[in-house]
Amino acid sequence: MEQLGYSPYYCSRQFNQLTGMTLRDYIWTRRISCAAFELRDTDQRVLDVAVKYGFLSQETFTRAFNKAFQLTPAAYQKAPRPIPLAIRQEVFSPYHYLIKERDKTNKVHLQLAEIKVEFIPALL
């Protein structure tokens, strides 16, 4: 955050305003979702996946996985089923700013766009 030139508090606050979730919750959700992908797509042991994604033990990973998906990681690995995974969000996309600013737009300053259709002959 020092590279951005803003304080951690300011960055966290801006992240929360743009995404509707805290940075900590976003990182936790991404970690648990990536672990779920790994469990579904590989034959790795649950403990190995837990350690790979930063959990201190299989027990803490199982608790977190159960909290996120109401299912244990071992059960999910044996019989994968659709679960709500968090995909990466583009946080600083101009699209997000447009959504946030849409309601603040002053309609007095809006102008109709002038549209012209021109046909240009092909060059041979």
Enumerate the domain spans of the chain. 8-109
CATH fit for domain 8-109, picks 3.50.50.60, 2.60.40.420, 3.40.50.10800, 1.10.10.60:
1.10.10.60
pTM for the complete prediction?
0.64
- pLDDT score for 56: 92
CA distances from 22 to 18, 28, 52, 67, 96 (A): 10, 10, 23, 17, 16
Q: Measuring CA to CA, which residue among 54, 58, 62 is closest to residue 28?
A: 54
- pLDDT score for 93: 59
| Rounded percentage of the chain residues whose pLDDT exceeds 70 | 77
Check whether 87 has a pLDDT greater than 70: no
Given pLDDT bands bounded at 50, 70 and 90, which one contains residue 18? confident
Given pLDDT bands bounded at 50, 70 and 90, which one contains residue 23? confident
SS3 95: helix
